[in-house]
Amino acid sequence: MKNLKNKKAIITGGSRGLGRATAIAFAKQGIDVGITGRNEDTLKATVAELKGLGVNAEYEVFDVGNYEEVKAGIDNLIKKLSTVDILVNNAGIAAFGTLNDMPVEEWSKIIQTNVMGMYYVTKEVLPYLIDKNEGDIINISSTAGLNGNATTSAYSASKFAVIGMSESLMKEVRKNNIRVCTLTPSTIASDMSIDLGIADKDSQDSVLQPEDFAELIVAGLQLPRRAMLKSAALWSTNP
């Protein structure tokens, strides 16, 4: 297993849910972590938790859907961490509604956050990984990125796009020793799934937990560099 100690990771949406669990799992491996989000209070609380695990932890507040904010935020975060080895493109939003009922602004915001946000962040981090001729990018799609369902048109469109962008990037940067992994988790208990009414935080034995997802990411990173986890789905055993 590859030792990940002293690597530097950026996790978008690292303050809550899957991103926070990943940040904690990284810190337990000795990885220094920079997390991002829009709410400074939750970022500060998670950073304090990460520092308690003995690693350097930093945060930057920005909206991934705003390119000017992303440019400044990623630049600051990489300066604070001194470099970057791993990017987890996790920040995302979801809302369900029929194509006609969902307001245009809401539909657009899902695409702007989940697709453009991932593109903006990756565009700012990628040159550092190419310069090092080594790196890892983990992009979070969803089972909704493999199948459309009634009322998921915006979310599914965004998560299908993530898979296309991610696979294309993987083929572009394999030659640079950069591994790009696309994950398609099923429902995991988090604010997002609880707010959507598709998970119940009390059903810990049957519903996937953010920690399960974080373990998968760490396992992928621990593979020898010659091996790349290209894509993976995470399902609950007995929902």
Q: Which of 4, 9, 10, 13 binds ligand NAP (CB under 6 A)?
A: 13
- Phi-psi bin for 202: left (phi > 0), alpha (psi -120 to 50), beta? alpha
Minimum distance, C-beta of residue 77 to ligand NAP, in the bound complex (Å): 12
- Residue 60 β-bridge partners: 36
CA–chain centroid gap for 225, Å, is 21
Between CA 188 and CA 102, with CA 138 as vertex, the angle to 5 degrees is 55
For residue 114, the 8-state DSSP code is I
Closest CA to 169 of 219, 227, 126, 225: 126
Positions marked catalytic: 155
Choose between 197 and 224: whose C-beta lies nearer to ligand NAP.
197
Minimum distance, C-beta of residue 197 to ligand NAP, in the bound complex (Å): 12
| Site stretch for ligand NAP (CB under 6 A), options 25-33, 49-57, 91-99, 218-226 | 91-99
**By the rule CB under 6 A, 182 interacts with ligand NAP:** no
| Spatial contact of 86 and 6, defined as CB atoms under 8 Å apart | no
Minimum distance, C-beta of residue 118 to ligand NAP, in the bound complex (Å): 9
Question: What residue ranges bind ligand NAP (CB under 6 A)?
Answer: 12-13, 15-19, 36-39, 42, 63-65, 90-94, 113, 117, 140, 142, 185, 187-188, 190-193
